[in-house]
């Protein structure tokens, strides 16, 4: 396993751009770790409810339409009611 990892990082001598160097190093390290340790599946959950997304879109539409009063009221409403 050591030989495989060291050969993968042989490409890093050729790369001159620091961003490319970092991306290559990161990618190869993660791939080597994934082969050794494995990967735990992530649990996906609905972080934001449909109602919240609709409210965000309504607030955004008010802001983009230039309706500052409605936008400010909605923004204050969310702040006042986000915990309950």
DSSP string covering 27-59: HHHHHHHHHHH--PPPPP---S-HHHHHHHHHH
pLDDT at 13: 64
The domain segmentation of the chain, as residue ranges, is 2-37, 50-81
Residue among 78, 20, 16, 18 at smallest CA distance from 28: 20
Max mean pLDDT among 6-10, 15-19, 28-32 falls in 28-32
Tens of pLDDT, residues 34-77: 988 888 887 766 777 888 888 888 888 888 888 888 878 777 76
Q: What is the pTM of this model?
A: 0.36
Specify the long-range contacts of residues 33-37, CB closer than 8 Å, at least 24 apart.
36/1
67 in the Ramachandran plot: left (φ > 0), alpha (ψ -120 to 50) or beta?
beta
Alpha-carbon span 37 to 41, nearest angstrom: 13
Inform me whether the pLDDT recorded for 12 exceeds 60.
Answer: no
């Amino acid at each position: 396993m050591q030989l495989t990892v060291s050969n993968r990082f042989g490409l890093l001598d050729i790369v001159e751009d620091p961003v490319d160097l970092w991306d290559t190093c990161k990618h190869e390290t993660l791939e080597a770790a994934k082969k050794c340790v494995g990967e735990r599946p992530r649990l996906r959950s609905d972080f934001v409810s449909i109602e919240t997304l609709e409210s965000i879109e309504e607030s955004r539409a008010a802001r983009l339409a230039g309706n500052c009063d409605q936008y400010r009221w909605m923004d204050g409403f969310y702040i006042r009611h986000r915990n309950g």
